[in-house]
Amino acid sequence: MSHANSIDHYIEELRRVTADTSDEDQIIARVGPLAQHVVQHKDWLQPKHYETDSDQGFGVHLLHEEPDHTLAVFIVAWLPGRGTPPHDHGTWAVVAGVEGVERNIRYERLDDRSRKGFAQLSVKHDFLADPGDLVSMKTGGIHAVLNETDRVTLSLHTYGKHINHTNRSQFDLESNAQKAYLLTVE
């Protein structure tokens, strides 16, 4: 299957799933196997998908987005030794490993969310995600990603809405600060 066919088929299936249900648990359960299938067949990967942004620590390459910013699909290229601060997505997320191993740290929120700009987090789960592994989160889930390898790693990210069009946040574990989190997308 060619790049266009495999990604186009994936998008068709995403549309079908989200037309059938708005329940995030059901969406995640159905999208996960679809994403795993796409990452098994890497003929859709292009050299530009390995490009990174040294300021950001990773490159974000848009593969698809609906006109209303829903069903956004990205390939993310992580620089060695780099990653993200703890963050949420403002939407459901299904991430499938493509190449390399990425450390994923899941957090739980300890505060009552009553103070604007404040969030107290605690590590809930820390694991390595290999190629084909899934990292899925409902709206509100918080995690951080680290590439602890010596080469660029890749992962396929599928979101219910483009992450720069949600009210997503990043979190500072030392100061307990919460602020907006926007990415540079290619």
- Residue 186 located in a structural domain: no
User: Does residue 185 lie in a domain region?
Assistant: no
In a domain, 174, yes or no: yes
45-82 pLDDT, tens digit per residue, is 999 999 999 999 999 999 999 999 999 999 999 999 99
Does residue 44 sit within a domain? yes
Residue percentage of the chain with pLDDT more than 90: 94
For 130, how many CA atoms within 13 A lie in the half-sphere containing its CB? 0
pTM above 0.85, yes or no: yes
Please give the Cα distance from 123 to 145 (Å, whole number): 13
Q: The domain containing residue 98 runs over which residues?
A: 3-180
Listed in sequence order, the residues at least 6 apart from 147 whose beta carbon sits closer than 8 Å to its beta carbon are 58, 78, 79, 80, 81, 82, 83, 100, 102, 103, 153
Total tally of structural domains belonging to the chain: 1
Residue 128's CATH number: 2.60.120.10
